Amino acid sequence: MGSPEQTTAAAGKSPSSSSSSSSSVTIWRCTGTTIHKEDLRKRITIPEYLRVAMREAIGNKDVDSAMRHYEMANADGVEIVKASESPIVVFINAKSGGRHGPELKARLQDLMGEEQVFDLSAVKPNEFVQYGLSCLEKFAALGDTCAKETREKIRIVAAGGDGTVGWVLGCLGELKRQNRDPVPPTGIIPLGTGNDLSRSFGWGGSFPFNWRTATKRILDRVANGPVCHLDSWNLVISMPSGEALETPYSLKPSDCASLDQELEIDGELPEKLSYYQGVFYNYFSIGMDAQVAYGFHHLRNEKPYLAQGPLSNKLIYSGYSCKQGWFFAPCSSDPGLRGLNNILRLYVKKVNSSKWEQVPVPSSVRSIVTLNLPSYGSGRNPWGNLKPEYLEKRGFVEAHADDGYVEIFGLKHGWHASMVMAELISAKHIAQGNQSFDLHRKFRKGVEHVDPLSFIANRS
């Protein structure tokens, strides 16, 4: 399993998985202040020779192809260009947010220049890290002080849903692993359905109605907001080798996985195993709710015309939950759907403990969620606000997004989940820890904390 890691932002054959955690950030704002377009543009726009050089390096996938811009800007007799006060780069999933995605993209380009707004359908965040930031770093290494200051000050905005934000954070997290500090902090423009990462750091749960004015305000807060941390978690899944799986961009095939050798598990692993590895920041689950989410994701990809916005997505999701039997799981003849304890064993390193403990899974639980945020399923808090005496009795600590722990809870069925989502009751508390390991009849999954990332928070 992995170990916890933190990220910076402007605000199942038996599986093994690991994860890491992060902390939250707060942005100060002065209410009633008018934000002038030209002043904002001056503060956040990257000098032209640098932003064009970065674009060329990314487009050609070659940092050296942009060297002519360095040579022209640093030639004898050329006036030295100063770095902008708060350079910003935006990644936008223009397919999110219903019809507003393309309009928002155009608005952002108007406020800071086309070269600083990357449509994820054309430029991937890993390409920006590999070529765009490397371009700045190479110029800086050659003595370009403007490039050096821009690389040190640059901030990122992820415009999209939780998937988009997680994708951007995952790519930025590679900078930490490559010893390429600093990792740019990240802010969010919420365009998705749940937007739990956005909610957790004060950026809101939906795209603002007055979005044209709000876009200026958001960019201003990203430019000026203080930075906090968010735990990130390394997830490793191992399973018997077979047919290649179609995995999301957040989960990649891996040559091997380092499962914790201190954990003794009955039974032998198959000789040939396939490993998949990724990082998560909000939550992941095993069980019926994961099955519903997987089905919804594929339905939306096959019939994108159905996904016209957050409201329609939630209606489709609810209908799919009924179709998949989430509300009728107690009547199922499949033992795996009647209760996860029939097919899964859970091991956790609990709070203030370095030893693995097997944690019993209640027979009524049909979904197990590993949660890193105080927000789940569009702003709900299924873990609940627990009283100090209950925390002490269970050996828990108060949950935060940057505490190095994940909360593991269970859902019984759709009706139980509905009451939890309505915050009438709390979910079934199972464990809290900094590492977990699930042994499933078909796979193994390990979760381990890694370095935290930085977020820009938006709190008034």
Question: Per-residue pLDDT tens for 152-188?
Answer: 999 999 999 998 999 999 999 999 989 999 999 999 9
Alpha-carbon gap, residue 237 to 275, rounded angstroms: 6
Mean pLDDT of 409-415: 86
Q: What percent of the chain has pLDDT over 90?
A: 43
For CA atoms 306, 309, 315, 321, the dihedral sign is positive
Alpha-carbon gap, residue 292 to 200, rounded angstroms: 24
Mean pLDDT of 429-433: 94
Nearest to 4 by CA among 451, 398, 456, 363: 451
pLDDT of residue 344: 84
pLDDT of residue 96: 74
Selection from 31-35, 337-341, 420-424 with the highest mean pLDDT: 420-424
Tokens of residue 267, six digits: 């039974």
Mean pLDDT of 37-52: 97
pLDDT of residue 428: 93
Position 399 pLDDT exceeds 90: yes
Exposed, middle or buried, 152 (CB in 10 Å: 0-12/13-18/19+)? middle
Position 321 pLDDT exceeds 70: no
Q: Which DSSP letter does residue 304 get? A: G
Position 265 pLDDT exceeds 90: no
- Asked whether the beta carbons of 422 and 300 are under 8 A apart, the reply is no
Exposed, middle or buried, 75 (CB in 10 Å: 0-12/13-18/19+)? exposed
- Asked whether the beta carbons of 436 and 17 are under 8 A apart, the reply is yes
Comparing 307 with 72, which gets the higher pLDDT? 72
pLDDT of residue 456: 81
pLDDT of residue 15: 35
The amino acid present at 145, given as its one-letter code, is T
Alpha-carbon gap, residue 222 to 216, rounded angstroms: 10
Q: Which DSSP letter does residue 441 get? A: S
Position 14 pLDDT exceeds 70: no
- Asked whether the beta carbons of 367 and 339 are under 8 A apart, the reply is no
Mean pLDDT of 385-390: 94
Q: What are the residues whose beta carbons fall under 8 Å from the beta carbon of 319, sequence distance 6 or more? A: none
Q: pLDDT class for 16, splitting at 50, 70, 90?
A: very low
Nearest to 409 by CA among 373, 377, 371, 446: 371
- H helix intervals, 274-364: 288-302, 310-324, 335-338
pLDDT of residue 97: 64
Q: What percent of the chain has pLDDT over 70?
A: 76
Position 300 pLDDT exceeds 50: yes
Mean pLDDT of 371-381: 89
Q: What are the residues whose beta carbons fall under 8 Å from the beta carbon of 265, sequence distance 6 or more? A: 347, 439
pLDDT of residue 169: 92
Peptide bond into 182 cis (omega under 30): yes
Q: Tell how far CA 432 is from the center of its chain.
A: 20
For the ranges 196-205, 214-223, 321-330, the lowest mean pLDDT is seen at: 321-330
Position 201 pLDDT exceeds 80: yes
Tokens of residue 317, six digits: 């999701």
Selection from 13-17, 139-143, 307-311, 359-363 with the highest mean pLDDT: 139-143
Alpha-carbon gap, residue 151 to 134, rounded angstroms: 9
Q: Within the chain, how many helices (H) and strands (E) appear? A: 15, 18
Alpha-carbon gap, residue 66 to 55, rounded angstroms: 9
User: CA dist 261 to 2, 40, 221, Å?
Assistant: 12, 53, 46
Average pLDDT score over the chain: 82
Position 81 pLDDT exceeds 60: yes
Instruction: For the chain, give percent helix, strand, coil, nearest 5.
Output: 35, 25, 40
Q: pLDDT class for 326, splitting at 50, 70, 90?
A: low
pLDDT of residue 324: 57
Q: Where are the domains of the chain?
A: 29-224, 233-451
For the ranges 62-71, 127-136, 139-148, 257-266, the lowest mean pLDDT is seen at: 257-266
- DSSP line for 91-158: EE-TTSSTTHHHHHHHHHHHHH-GGGEEETTTS-HHHIIIIIHHHHHHHHHTT-HHHHHHHHH-EEEE
Count CB-CB contacts under 10 A for residue 66: 25
Nearest to 117 by CA among 8, 228, 219: 219
Selection from 145-149, 203-207, 227-231, 321-325 with the highest mean pLDDT: 145-149
